[in-house]
Amino acid sequence: MTKKIKIWQAIVCCLLLIAIVRFNEVLISVKMLFIFFSLLFSDYSSALSLIKEKIVDQFTSLLILPTLLFLILILRRKIFWLSKKCSGSALMVILLILLFLFAPLLAPYDDNLQFNLPQAKRLTPFSTQQLVEKVNPEYGNNKLDTFHKYENLLFREFVSSDYYLADEPIENVKSGEITSAQITFVLGTDEYGRDILSRIIYATRYSLMISFFAIVISGILGIVLGFVSGYFGRYTDVVLNRIVEMFLAIPFIFLVILSVAFLGDSVTTVIIILGFAGWMSLFKVVRSEVLKLKAKDHIVTAKMIGMSLSNLLTKEYLPLLLPSISVNLVFQFAYILVAESSLSFLGITGNYSHPSLGGMIQQGFASLSNAWWVALFPTMVITWIFFIVHNAVRKMNGSESNIFR
């Protein structure tokens, strides 16, 4: 039964599922987007002042949702891998990518929202609490106020007398002013009363983003330098090879630790350092492949015609190099993800504005004896991503190869 589902069907199902499960949030965001656009025409300056990182984030994932849906429905026959059969590992990859794209829609609360501690400290998974919410009468009826009202609904960053948890439902509810609803913390809360599910969704996305950009950097470095080394040969080849061998002799993690210690631990620095630390294996792969391809007829012909160097790389070499490059990059992706989470686990990096998986594990490790769930779920996510990557590489290779760089 599962074998008959195709990849585009799986993606469409997941997208619809997101839209249905998080319907409330999607609806509010649509309203916000509508108000924002109408404000953009009537009151230009105040609309621009509304733009924040979180709102941009929310709007992007909201806009991606229908766009992706329609694109896939339209292109399902044109892109060949969309109509392939969906295996278990493909489904995992799809879920991971969707988690990355729609994190703001999927997360029930803000990642740094602390509920009131007496009620929300270290709640076990699936524990329920009463959420008391006061419908604010202070907001007026004009567009700006409505926008702020919805914004407050979606991105609450702290609890107040209008919004808090209680043990029991409030009995004397005045109609329209105070509402109380039962909410469930599916993965529990941590010691500061933050919802772990929301934190994990944002942390996964953040860790994936860091590894992705690092991969882009090391990919560009590895491909360009490997191509230069393999194509020109002679002295450049010797010099670059020596340098790479020297870098490979120094353990990866020490290079990163050293750089982080001296250059600081902001996100951009960490991305650049991880990217610069991981290009060596790709360099070796690209160089050896280019050396093999150099004597092939079609490439010699392309050179004779007078193709420029960049054209030669992008149009002749890259399509042939793609399989080995992608395998290497996917491996490197997992490697960098684990390196990043190890670093933030050790407390060397991880002072970001968002949670990261390693930081969450560190926090959970400190309270492992009283609250096992805080550490369990982030570790499960890391293992899950690592497993997906290994599965994907095994599929690409046909069999597993050795992973010694």
Partner 1 sequence: MPNRKLVRAVSTFSTYLLTIFLLISVVFILVRLSPGDPTLKYLSPQFNPQLHETVKNNYGLDKSVGEQYLRFLVNIAHGNLGVSYTYREPVQSIILEKAPLTLFLAIISFVLQIAVSVGLVQYLHQHRGKWLERALNKISLIMYALPPMVVGIGLIFIFSIVLKMFPIADVVSTNFDQLNYLQKTFDLVKHFTLPIITLSLPGIIIYYNYIRENVVATEKQTFVKFLFANGFENEIIFKKHVLPNSINPLISILGTELGILLGGAIITESLFGLPGLGRLTVTAIITRDYPLVVGCVLLTGFFVLLVNFIADLYKIKRDIQLSQSINISD
Question: Which positions touch partner 1 (CB under 8 A)?
Answer: 242-243, 245-246, 248-255, 257-264, 338, 341-342, 345-348, 358, 361, 365, 368-369, 372, 375, 379, 382-383, 386-387, 389-390, 400, 402-405
Report in angstroms how near the CB of residue 275 gets to partner 1 at its nearest.
16
Report in angstroms how near the CB of residue 364 gets to partner 1 at its nearest.
8
Q: Toward partner 1, which CB reaches closer, 35 or 200? A: 200
Q: Cβ(178)–Cβ(332) under 8 Å?
A: no
Report in angstroms how near the CB of residue 394 gets to partner 1 at its nearest.
8
Using CA of residue 129, residue 134, residue 135, residue 138, what is the dihedral sign? negative
Residue ranges of alpha helices (H) inside 264-371 are: 267-277, 280-293, 297-305, 309-311, 318-346, 357-366
Report in angstroms how near the CB of residue 404 gets to partner 1 at its nearest.
5
Cα–Cα distance for residue pair 315/287, rounded to 1 Å? 17
Phi (first) and psi of residue 132, to 5 degrees: -100, 125
Say how far residue 303 (Cα) sits from the centre of its chain: 41
Say how far residue 82 (Cα) sits from the centre of its chain: 22
Report in angstroms how near the CB of residue 329 gets to partner 1 at its nearest.
18
Cα–Cα distance for residue pair 242/61, rounded to 1 Å? 45
Report in angstroms how near the CB of residue 262 gets to partner 1 at its nearest.
4
Q: Which two tokens stand for residue 265?
A: 């631990």
Q: Toward partner 1, which CB reaches closer, 32 or 375? A: 375
Q: Toward partner 1, which CB reaches closer, 20 or 249? A: 249
Distances (CA, A) of 226 to 75, 219, 284: 35, 10, 7
Q: Toward partner 1, which CB reaches closer, 69 or 255? A: 255
Q: Toward partner 1, which CB reaches closer, 22 or 199? A: 199
Report in angstroms how near the CB of residue 280 gets to partner 1 at its nearest.
12
Count the helices and strands in the chain (H runs, E runs): 18, 3
Report in angstroms how near the CB of residue 19 gets to partner 1 at its nearest.
32
Q: Toward partner 1, which CB reaches closer, 179 or 241? A: 241
Q: Toward partner 1, which CB reaches closer, 155 or 276? A: 276
Q: Cβ(378)–Cβ(316) under 8 Å?
A: no
Q: Toward partner 1, which CB reaches closer, 85 or 242? A: 242
Cα–Cα distance for residue pair 371/98, rounded to 1 Å? 29
Question: Buried b vs exposed e over 369-403: b needs ≥16 C-beta within 10 Å?
Answer: eebebbbbbbbebbeebeebbbbbbeeeeeeeeee
